[in-house]
């Protein structure tokens, strides 16, 4: 189990392949412990619009939440959940309330054999007219959307002599609340915002390690995954079977490879048409599915798959693997690198390639989180966001939230981060790139999305620490750029920075202050949007 910090920032989240565990021996030696930290807050927030027009609004915010971590021999997990209510002192701005949080945990039903794990996320995002989503929504924004996602399932790891047996099943659900308004370019098609989906995956693998009993390791495995998306009954179905081999080259290097068969299919139905032949749009702003229509194939690939690669593990603090092969009727690349040069620093890089919908990708990102973490929230809005980082490993959640379009896509990209502790301070930087090529059936209302590519670039930076015995500070900055391939949609650049200060008045009561500056430069709007925010409040911890 890794100890992580969820860093604030508005970066687009990238789906990352889990980095190999680093310093696992130290993790296993941790004593069993449980920490539960409930709290309540009362804050006064001011938001000033600097451009295009000068305006301001103030809020009184009441919030309650709990941060908890459980680490035991057969159980483990962390949860951070927060509810807040914002009262706007402006008749033109509506009051709002928000539930946000992240959780991940496991329980061993049969120690070292059968484990059940689960995870969940509640987040608030700002949605732009090209479908791009960022985690820097302001209170009362019409383009605000709420995202909820959860997954659960059992994992089996056992042995039959020299043969290791592993099996897993996961089921997940994701829902996106449609924004009240989206500003789109004149003449542009409306964005079909993702509604909800049910995703499932199952896998089984049996194999031997090098030297047990053969000089090389041999294995065979099979997997199946499916995501059913409510928008136009879209469906992703992927099944495969393959064999693999591990050939040691030295004590620290091994060559790996695999070959097998895979069948992938993406399909959907078309939209219901009215008497005039126009698409019917429901009360939620999404296309209404014509259930009488047969399924249309958006993408299919079946046949031989293969990949070759190298694994390098010179120590418990360093692990690298890289793979190249053939999948989805094209070249594929994936891999990861994890390096902890000392007990206070870590570097992590991940390269990924997958076909999924918005919900399936977010469920996978949740499953890749560790079970022990701390959550750092935006000091002004209370929202979770940004990258996950710690000495033992790091990962960004922002690429999985990069676009809320309903269309299925092939996502390829890279995510990297560096974190370090300097005395009583912690610093880190995360960056990544995510490329989504959308897949849609010809002859349907989504046909215009087929083959269109969106590219997202993101970066975040943070520095936090203690000031003396009773005070602490946190600073962070972020930048995201979404370049949409859809006609008339344009680019959206989001920049921002914030700083907060907290000082304990008693063992339970502390005073808090924070400032932030956010900027949106969108081709969809005539003018840029810049805001400055400030907070002053009290927090009581139980």
| 20 belongs to a structural domain | yes
In whole angstroms, give the CA distance from residue 4 to residue 78. 10
- Checking if the pLDDT of 5 tops 50, the result is no
pLDDT in tens, 147-177: 999 999 999 999 999 999 999 999 999 999 8
DSSP string, 54-107: -EEEEEEEEEEEEEEEEE-SSEEEEEEEEEEEEEESSTTS--EEEEEEEEEEEE
Average pLDDT over every residue of 233-250: 97
pLDDT of 165 reads 97
Residue 81's alpha-carbon distances to 63, 93, 120, in angstroms, are 11, 26, 10
Computed on alpha carbons and rounded to an integer, the radius of gyration of the chain in Å comes to 24
Domain encompassing residue 227: 3-53+63-541
Report residue 27: phi and psi, to 5°: -65, -40
Average pLDDT over every residue of 484-495: 81
Average pLDDT over every residue of 75-99: 87
- Checking if the pLDDT of 12 tops 50, the result is no
Which tokens hold the place of 257?
Answer: 């490879």
pLDDT of 8 reads 34
Contact assessment for residue 39 and residue 542, using Cβ atoms and an 8 Å cutoff: yes
In whole angstroms, give the CA distance from residue 428 to residue 418. 5
Contact assessment for residue 19 and residue 350, using Cβ atoms and an 8 Å cutoff: yes
Contact assessment for residue 399 and residue 374, using Cβ atoms and an 8 Å cutoff: no
| 475 belongs to a structural domain | yes
| 58 belongs to a structural domain | no
Report residue 523: phi and psi, to 5°: -70, -15
Which tokens hold the place of 39?
Answer: 């709290």
- Checking if the pLDDT of 396 tops 90, the result is no
Which tokens hold the place of 269?
Answer: 């139905």
For residue 513, give the 3-state DSSP assignment. Answer: strand
Contact assessment for residue 495 and residue 28, using Cβ atoms and an 8 Å cutoff: no
Average pLDDT over every residue of 259-271: 96
pLDDT of 1 reads 40
pLDDT grade for 186, boundaries at 50, 70 and 90: low
- Checking if the pLDDT of 19 tops 50, the result is no
pLDDT in tens, 414-426: 988 888 888 889 8
Q: Is 226 exposed, middle or buried (0-12, 13-18, 19+ CB in 10 A)?
A: middle
pLDDT of 156 reads 97
For residue 403, give the 3-state DSSP assignment. Answer: strand
Average predicted confidence (pLDDT) for the chain: 86
For residue 456, give the 3-state DSSP assignment. Answer: strand
Greater confidence, 353 or 402?
A: 353
In whole angstroms, give the CA distance from residue 389 to residue 348. 9
Least confident interval from 8-17, 237-246, 260-269, 428-437: 8-17
For residue 359, give the 3-state DSSP assignment. Answer: helix
Q: pTM of this prediction?
A: 0.87
Write the CATH number for 396: 2.40.170
Contact assessment for residue 146 and residue 135, using Cβ atoms and an 8 Å cutoff: no
Indicate the helix (H) or strand (E) that contains 366.
helix 358-367
DSSP string, 11-26: PPB---PPPPPSSHHH
| 515 belongs to a structural domain | yes
pLDDT of 25 reads 44
Which tokens hold the place of 112?
Answer: 């070292």
- Checking if the pLDDT of 14 tops 70, the result is no
- Nearest Cα residue to 6 out of 514, 414, 377, 477: 377
pLDDT of 181 reads 55
For residue 515, give the 3-state DSSP assignment. Answer: strand
Please tell me the total count of domains within the chain.
1
Report residue 195: phi and psi, to 5°: -100, -80
- Checking if the pLDDT of 137 tops 70, the result is no
pLDDT of 161 reads 92
Count of beta carbons in the 10 Å neighbourhood of residue 385: 30
Q: What does DSSP assign to residue 281?
A: B
| 401 belongs to a structural domain | yes
- Checking if the pLDDT of 17 tops 60, the result is no
Average pLDDT over every residue of 230-257: 96
Residue listed under structure tokens 């179905």 = 237
Which tokens hold the place of 542?
Answer: 């139980």
- Checking if the pLDDT of 461 tops 90, the result is no
């Amino acid at each position: 189990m890794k100890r992580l910090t969820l860093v604030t920032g508005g970066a687009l989240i990238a789906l990352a392949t889990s980095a190999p565990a680093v310093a696992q021996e130290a993790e296993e030696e941790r004593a069993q412990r449980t920490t539960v930290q409930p709290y309540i807050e009362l804050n006064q927030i001011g938001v000033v619009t600097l451009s295009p027009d000068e305006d301001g609004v103030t809020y009184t915010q009441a919030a309650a939440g709990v941060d908890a971590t459980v680490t035991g021999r057969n159980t483990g997990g962390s949860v951070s959940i927060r509810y807040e209510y914002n009262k706007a002192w402006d008749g033109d701005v509506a009051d709002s309330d928000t539930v946000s949080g992240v959780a991940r945990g496991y329980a061993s039903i049969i120690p070292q054999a059968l484990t059940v794990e689960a995870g969940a996320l509640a987040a608030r995002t700002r949605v732009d007219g090209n479908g791009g989503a960022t985690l820097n929504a302001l209170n009362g924004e019409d383009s605000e959307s709420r995202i909820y996602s959860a997954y659960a399932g059992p994992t089996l790891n056992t042995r039959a002599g020299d043969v290791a047996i592993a099996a897993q099943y996961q089921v997940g659900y994701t829902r996106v609340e449609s924004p009240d308004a989206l500003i789109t370019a004149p003449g542009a098609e409306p964005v079909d915002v993702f509604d909800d989906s049910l995703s499932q995956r199952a896998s089984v693998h049996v194999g031997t390690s090098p030297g047990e009993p053969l000089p090389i390791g041999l294995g065979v495995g099979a997997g199946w995954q499916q995501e059913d998306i409510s928008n136009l009954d879209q469906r992703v179905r992927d099944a495969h079977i393959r064999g693999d081999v591990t050939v040691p080259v030295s004590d620290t290097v091994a060559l790996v490879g695999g070959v097998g068969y895979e069948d992938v299919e993406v399909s959907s139905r078309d939209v219901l048409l009215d008497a005039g032949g126009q698409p019917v749009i429901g009360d939620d702003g999404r296309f209404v599915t014509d259930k009488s229509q047969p399924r249309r194939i958006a993408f299919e690939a079946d046949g031989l798959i293969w990949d070759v690669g190298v694994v390098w593990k010179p120590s418990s603090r360093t692990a690298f693997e890289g793979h190249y092969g053939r999948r989805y009727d094209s070249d594929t690349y994936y891999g990861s690198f994890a390096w902890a040069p000392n007990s206070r620093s870590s570097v992590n890089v991940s390269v990924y390639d997958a076909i999924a919908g918005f919900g399936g990708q977010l469920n996978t990102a949740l499953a890749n989180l560790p079970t022990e973490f701390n959550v750092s929230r935006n000091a002004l809005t209370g929202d979770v966001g940004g990258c996950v980082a710690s000495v033992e490993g790091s990962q960004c959640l922002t690429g999985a939230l990069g676009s809320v379009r309903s269309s299925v896509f092939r996502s390829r990209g890279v995510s990297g981060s560096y974190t370090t502790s300097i005395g009583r301070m912690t610093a880190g930087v995360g960056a990544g790139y995510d490329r989504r090529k959308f897949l849609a059936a010809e002859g349907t209302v989504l046909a215009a999305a087929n083959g269109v590519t969106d590219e997202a670039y993101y970066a975040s930076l943070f520095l936090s620490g203690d000031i003396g015995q009773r005070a602490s500070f946190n600073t962070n900055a972020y930048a995201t750029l979404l370049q949409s391939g859809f006609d008339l949609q344009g680019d959206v650049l989001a920049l921002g920075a914030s700083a907060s200060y907290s000082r304990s008045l008693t063992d339970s009561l502390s005073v808090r202050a924070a400032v932030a500056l956010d900027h949106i430069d969108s081709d969809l709007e005539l003018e840029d949007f810049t805001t400055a925010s400030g907070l002053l409040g009290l927090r009581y911890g139980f």
